[in-house]
Structure 1
Amino acid sequence: MANGLKNVFKSQAFTLALIGAVIAAVVAPWIGVAEGPLRTEATSKIAVALTFLVQGLSLPTRQILRSATKFKVHSFNLLCNFCFAPLLMIAFLAVVGKWIHPGLEAGFLYLSILPTTISSAIVMTSSSEGDSSTALFSTTLANVLGVFITPVLCAELILYTSDGAPSLGTTIGKIALLVLTPLIVGQLIRPWIREWANKSKASFKRVSNSLVVFIVYAAFCQSVESGIWGEVGAATIVAVLLIAIAFLLLFSALVWLTSPMASNRIDERIAIFFCGSHKTLAAGVPMASILFSSLPAESDLTLGLIILPLMCFHPLQLFLAGFLTPLFAGQAR
């Protein structure tokens, strides 16, 4: 019993750390606000850059290039990430959006325009006997293109419906500087430290997760300090979870049922499922801290509310993936 509980805590350590960051922000928001003791207006940006430097160091370049020629599969995954997901979310929110806070509605839209995960999509694809090299290229491509596509979609669907939004060119420039540049630098450095980087995968993951937890803490400190959570009760949090579950199930079913349009091979369809249906928390939180950093304090679009749907969606997609992995593996054998 004790060992089982220990394993649960170990497997869900990241999710528990995120919950702890939110609780810490509620208890002591003054520590993490802008110009507070942690100087999060600067340290959050440093954390974003370090997160993507670590990703650049972690990604095996040669393996990425191995599946670069599977244009149909990669194009379909991009359509799932940046076209099918937003369209489904817009339709979904047309039905349920009127019952939730505007900031949370924007959060669900933001969730839908994010690229896929890198690490979990690859791990789940491999565990399911899917084509992990295809998953590696697709996830990397989506995250690189997401530096440009996500801000454009954000401008069209969220930011430019509110006052005080920064210019699109400025936003993309900031994201490219803090996201794409460290990623490229990490890849350029990697050949010189490949052996050490391969041995340090677990450490890289812990560092990356810790940086994301810090960014989440800073974001929630700002939203707690603004008083926005006085407008959001427990019923709203439950509603966010229910909407996230419903969207996850609908979108996952859509990706799986349409995946034969890109490939009839079961190993590639498994890669498509995980790459097409997952959404990245590791990149989503840092990008949100840049995209929504210039909004006025009185705006409904506070960062804490915007990333809440993503924080709920992340463990749910991993739970579903864990349930489906043995079923997919059985089909692939």
Structure 2
Amino acid sequence: MDEGITVWTMDLAVGDGMETCHKILLSKATIAMKRVFPNGTGFVAILGSLLGWAWIDPKAAVSGGPVITGLFANFLIVVIFFLQGWRLRPARMFEVWADGYTLWITQIAIIATPVALVLSGWAVGVISEEKLSPFLLLACLPTTISSCVVYARGSGGDGDYALGHATLSNLLAPFLVPLAWFFLIRPSGPAHFPMTSALMEVVPNMLLLVGLPCFFGWWFRKAVAP
């Protein structure tokens, strides 16, 4: 999954835009870990070191430096979503379907709000033309687990209910991200990447690195602690 996303970002950005994209991508991937490790000095140390490394040497951080390689990154993704599955409470998650209107509005807002903010920044000149494409792609990536769950609980909200929305959003991501990329960016020339190829690239990786580990985490917890 991370390799496919990196290919997209490298095709869609050049120069400073590519480095900015790399910085934000690693930053968002690191922040997503907060859903699984929300407390403790260990997480703070990891977060600070990775964010610092991303800003100092973004190319090495995403291209397989001495510590983070493609294999290690995939291993971390599997572990994170295994723990995510371990913490799932299916009965609470399905409560999001009780109110169809709220469900649709929330899911639309999850992907539309970041995109609208990026387009607004581009319209007022905060985001340059060369950085618009990578920012749009990053805005569509599924990072709602940390924002929905951790901050919902931190503000006194219902974290399990928020987890239902976050999980549904992540399940829809393999289909929504290629669609958003196709309709919002869709580059021409050598960087052209057909939507069918995007789906074939993203969906299997999402299922292997996200879906299966999440399922096995839930199943294993149910087996050892019925």
Q: Name 1:254's counterpart in structure 2.
A: none
1:126 corresponding residue in structure 2:
153
Aligned to 2:107: 78
Q: 1:181-232: CA deviations, max 9, x gaps? A: 443323432354216999xxxxxxxxxxxxxxxxxxxxxxxxxxxxxxxxxx
Contact 1:81-1:114 within 8 A present in 2 as well: no
What root-mean-square deviation, in Å, do the aligned CA atoms of Structure 1 and Structure 2 show?
A: 3.7
Amino acid at match of 1:141: L
Q: Which whole-Å deviations, capped at 9, do the CAs of 1:248-281 have from their partners, x for residues lacking one?
A: xxxxxxxxxxxxxxxxxxxxxxxxxxxxxxxxxx
Q: Which residue of 2 aligns with 1:282?
A: none
TM-score, L = length of structure 2:
0.63
Inter-CA distance 53–177: structure 2 relative to 1 (3 Å threshold) = farther
Q: Deviations over 1:57-116 (max 9, x none)?
A: 44333332233322222211112122343234323312215x6361x3223212332334
Asked if 1:17 is matched to 2:44, the reply is: no
Structure 1 consecutive aligned stretches of length 4 or more whose deviation exceeds 6 Å: 36-39, 195-198
**Aligned to 1:177, which of 197, 201, 204?**
204
Contact 1:159 1:165 in 2 (8 A): yes
Tell me the CA shift for residue 149 of structure 1.
Answer: 0.5
Paired AA for residue 51 in structure 2: I
The alpha carbon displacement at 1:42 in A equals 5.6
Larger Rg: 1
Aligned to 2:24: none
Please point out which of 87, 94, 104 is paired with 2:116.
87
- State the aligned residue count: 187
State the secondary structure of the residue aligned to 2:84: helix
Q: Partner letter of residue 13 of structure 1?
A: A
Give the distance between the partners of 2:80 and 2:221, measured in 1 at CA: 18
| Alignment check: 8 A CA contact 2:83 2:214 kept | no
Higher relative contact order (CA 8 A, sep 6+): 1
> Are the counterparts in 2 of residues 118 and 136 from structure 1 also a CA contact under 8 Å?
yes
* Equivalent AA in structure 1 for residue 157 of structure 2: G
CA distance in 1, matches of 2:55, 2:121: 30
The amino acid across from 2:47 in the alignment is: T
Segments of 5+ residues of structure 2 without an aligned counterpart are 1-38
Q: Which residue in 2 is equivalent to 1:140?
A: 167
Q: Does the 8 Å contact 1:49/1:178 carry over to 2? A: no
TM-score, length-scaled by structure 1: 0.45
CA distance in 1, matches of 2:55, 2:120: 33
Counterpart among 44, 64, 67 of residue 96 in structure 2: 67
Report SS of the residue matched to 2:215: helix
CA distance in 2, matches of 1:135, 1:39: 31
Cα deviation code 1:92-144 (max 9, x no counterpart): 312215x6361x32232123323342144212212322233321111111111
Decide which of 161, 166, 175 is 2:193's aligned counterpart. 166
Say which of 128, 144, 152 aligns to 1:100: 128
Distance, in Å, in 2 between the alignment partners of 1:183 and 1:37 is 25
Task: Give the C-alpha shift of residue 14 in structure 1.
Answer: 4.3
What percentage of residue pairs aligned between the two structures are identical?
Answer: 22
Query: Where does the alignment leave 5 or more consecutive residues of structure 1 unmatched?
Result: 1-6, 199-333
Amino acid at match of 1:18: L
